[in-house]
Amino acid sequence: MLRVPVLSKSGKPLMPTKPSRARRWLRDGKAKVVHNDLECFAIQLTFETGEEAQPIAMGIDPGKGYSGIGVQSSHFTLWMGHLVLPFKTVKERMELRRIMRRARRGKRINRKLPYSERCHRQARFDNRKKGKLPPSIRANKQLELRIVKELFKLFPISAIHYELVMADVDKTSGRKSARSGVGFSPVMVGQKQMLKWLSELATVITHQGWQRDGNGTSQLRQWLRLAKDKKDKSNQTPATQAVDGVTLAAFEFTRWQEWHSDNAKHGDWQGSVEVTSAPFAIIRRPPISRRQLHLCVPSKGGKRRKYGGTVTRHGFRKGDKVIAEKAGKTYVGWCSGDTEKQVSVSGINWKRLGQFSAKKVQLLQRSTGLIVVPSPGLSNLPLLKGSI
């Protein structure tokens, strides 16, 4: 069921093709392999051809910690992605920055003087303007937008289906839940700005996950017989987030049709769409610290060493994809730090795989600002029990 993205001679995305046809074009010199930041195998034609395209839709299921994206045509699922968002990391670092800044400013204030004569920093600009996104939310939306733009370079996407989140307050418990209604949810923040960015790329259609008229994402997912893993959203599988991205994209080819009888109100889904196995990728940002003056805590002797940045002493940059060897074993990961003679290599979750001699580390790909781990083969979305 795999479909290979195809670009025209001028670089415009065309309809994906079968792997056998792509191999034949490559063998005959009619196409060449092109690289992209999503590490998705794609080809570019070396001859002129038509640029007609069938409808292809993208579905985006946004979240606070994780988001799902799916690309779907009427007959094939073309791509699925699980995004690990930087919300928690950015929030913690902004809090640490605030503490360090207050400590620095507090040191230069002479508290023996009257308050009116103290050296307080004057406000340099108005940071209370409406419409300003919190840094953690902005980082989430920018990562989602980055992936969307990369997919637009590979597929002729004609529409984007986006799930809106609205918080609802439970009258019995008083707690807030992410359903249609009134209230507040962190996922809601930045939706208006995100829709504005997406509208500059293609037509955007919004949906609600639990729409009560039967036309919600949950109802369509059940009609497609797709199962969703609701126990742990951190599981990096297609069943956690990507399944909703594919479901949202399927709205492009289906619609809810209502009809009435004498006694009840009925409805059913109309249209045709086929959900198939497709490439699946786990994507996140390398959590590299920005360049700081020094560490928060002094080292031995009262000196503080420099901290942050992407430069190392061995020609690698933090975030570069590398291959390293140690004790006869080979490791593939991303450069995350260095010492005088060694390079630190981390995995997809940014946990250090080990420290390797700089002579035994080879560069595979310069940092693109993304950590992409594609599945080794095609991934299937799980089906509900009892479905064929």
117 pLDDT above the threshold of 90 = no
102 pLDDT above the threshold of 90 = no
71, 79 contact by CB (below 8 A): yes
Of residues 91 and 122, the one with the higher pLDDT is 91
Determine the average pLDDT of the residues in 222-246: 92
139 pLDDT above the threshold of 50 = yes
296, 279 contact by CB (below 8 A): no
| Domains defined for the chain, CATH in brackets | 1-51 (no CATH), 54-100+134-285+370-388 (3.30.420.10), 300-369 (2.30.30.520)
> How are the residues of the chain apportioned to helix, strand and coil, as percentages rounded to the nearest 5?
25, 30, 45
140, 190 contact by CB (below 8 A): yes
Q: Provide the H-helix boundaries in the chain.
A: 19-27, 87-107, 135-152, 191-199, 217-223, 243-250
Q: How confident is the model at residue 278 (pLDDT cuts 50, 70, 90)?
A: very high
Bridge partners of 114, per DSSP, are none
How many C-beta atoms surround the C-beta of residue 109 within 10 A?
A: 13
Of 117-126, 127-136, 227-236, where does the model show the most confidence?
227-236
189 pLDDT above the threshold of 50 = yes
- Using DSSP bridges, classify how beta strands 280-284 and 77-84 pair: parallel, antiparallel or unpaired: parallel
277, 77 contact by CB (below 8 A): yes
Across the beta sheet with 77-84, what order do the strands follow? 203-208, 159-164, 57-61, 66-72, 77-84, 280-284, 371-374
- pLDDT value, residue 320: 96
29 pLDDT above the threshold of 60 = yes
Q: Which has the minimum average pLDDT: 30-44, 89-103, 312-326?
A: 89-103
168, 177 contact by CB (below 8 A): yes
Tell me which residue has tokens 């490439």.
Answer: 279
Q: How far apart are the first and last CA of the chain?
A: 18
DSSP 120: P
Tell me which residue has tokens 């002129």.
Answer: 48
pLDDT digits (tens, 9 = 90+) for 308-350: 889 999 999 999 999 999 999 999 999 999 999 999 999 998 9
Of residues 75 and 127, the one with the higher pLDDT is 75
- pLDDT value, residue 281: 96
Q: How far apart are CA 270 and CA 284, in angstroms?
A: 36
Residues 6+ apart with CB under 8 A from 260: 266
Q: How far apart are CA 273 and CA 54, in angstroms?
A: 13
Rg, Å, the chain Cα set: 25
Determine the average pLDDT of the residues in 261-283: 83
Assigned token pair, 344: 């630190």
Bridge partners of 334, per DSSP, are 321, 346
388 pLDDT above the threshold of 60 = no
DSSP 99: H
181 pLDDT above the threshold of 50 = no
Q: How confident is the model at residue 384 (pLDDT cuts 50, 70, 90)?
A: confident
Residue 103 amino acid letter: A
Q: Which has the minimum average pLDDT: 94-108, 221-235, 250-264, 308-322?
A: 250-264
Q: Provide the H-helix boundaries in 200-296.
A: 217-223, 243-250
Q: How confident is the model at residue 171 (pLDDT cuts 50, 70, 90)?
A: very low
Measured CA to CA in angstroms, residue 289 lies from 88, 104, 294 at distances of 14, 20, 12
Of residues 184 and 385, the one with the higher pLDDT is 385
DSSP helix/strand/coil, 34 = strand
Q: What is the mean pLDDT of the chain?
A: 88
Q: How far apart are CA 144 and CA 152, in angstroms?
A: 13
- pLDDT value, residue 212: 59
Tell me which residue has tokens 């733009």.
Answer: 149
Assigned token pair, 124: 């340099």
179 pLDDT above the threshold of 80 = no
- Using DSSP bridges, classify how beta strands 329-338 and 321-326 pair: parallel, antiparallel or unpaired: antiparallel
DSSP 78: E
Determine the average pLDDT of the residues in 55-61: 96
Q: How far apart are CA 177 and CA 273, in angstroms?
A: 31
pLDDT digits (tens, 9 = 90+) for 288-304: 988 776 677 777 777 77
Residues 6+ apart with CB under 8 A from 375: 279, 280, 281
